[in-house]
C-alpha cells in the first residue's frame, strides 16, 4: 500500500520505506483522471509505487479529496497477480476508505 498527496506545495509519497518528497505534478497528473476509484490490470504499476512499480500487475487507485492544506491525494493498492481487481464489487468500500482517509489526513495536518 502506498499513498501520495499534495499538501501545500510539495508532493509526498509514503510506503513501508518511509515518507518521500516527490513532484507535486506527478501526484496531480496521476490523480486527474480518477474521480473515485480506478481498478485495473497493468503491465507495470503506477510510478508513484516507487521501486515496487515493476512488481505490480493489478492496481486500485483511490482519489483522496479534502479541503486545504490537502490539495489532492491518492491511495494506491497494488497486487502482484493480474486480475486481482477485475470486478467493481470492491469499489464502494474503497470509496468509503478514501473518504475516511481524506478526513483523517486533514485533521492530522497542521493548519
CB atoms within 10 A of CB 41: 15
Q: What is the pTM (predicted TM-score) of this model?
A: 0.85
- Average pLDDT of the chain? 86
Give per-residue pLDDT as tens, 31-82. Answer: 999 989 999 899 999 999 999 999 999 999 999 987 777 788 899 999 999 8
Which pLDDT score is estimated for 105? 82
36 is in which domain, residue-wise? 2-108
Q: Which residue intervals of 13-86 are DSSP H helices?
A: 24-31
User: How many folded domains does the chain comprise?
Assistant: 1
Amino acid at each position: 500500500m502506498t499513498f501520495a498527496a499534495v499538501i501545500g506545495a510539495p508532493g509526498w509519497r509514503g510506503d513501508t520505506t518511509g515518507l518521500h518528497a516527490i513532484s507535486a505534478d506527478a501526484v496531480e497528473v496521476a490523480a486527474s483522471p480518477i474521480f473515485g476509484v480506478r481498478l485495473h490490470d497493468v503491465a507495470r504499476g503506477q510510478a508513484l509505487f516507487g521501486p515496487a512499480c515493476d512488481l505490480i500487475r493489478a492496481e486500485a487507485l483511490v482519489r483522496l479529496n479534502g479541503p486545504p492544506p490537502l490539495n489532492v491525494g491518492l491511495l494506491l493498492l497494488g497486487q502482484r497477480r493480474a486480475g486481482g481487481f477485475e470486478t467493481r464489487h470492491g469499489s464502494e468500500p474503497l470509496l468509503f476508505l478514501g473518504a475516511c482517509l481524506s478526513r483523517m489526513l486533514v485533521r492530522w495536518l497542521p493548519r
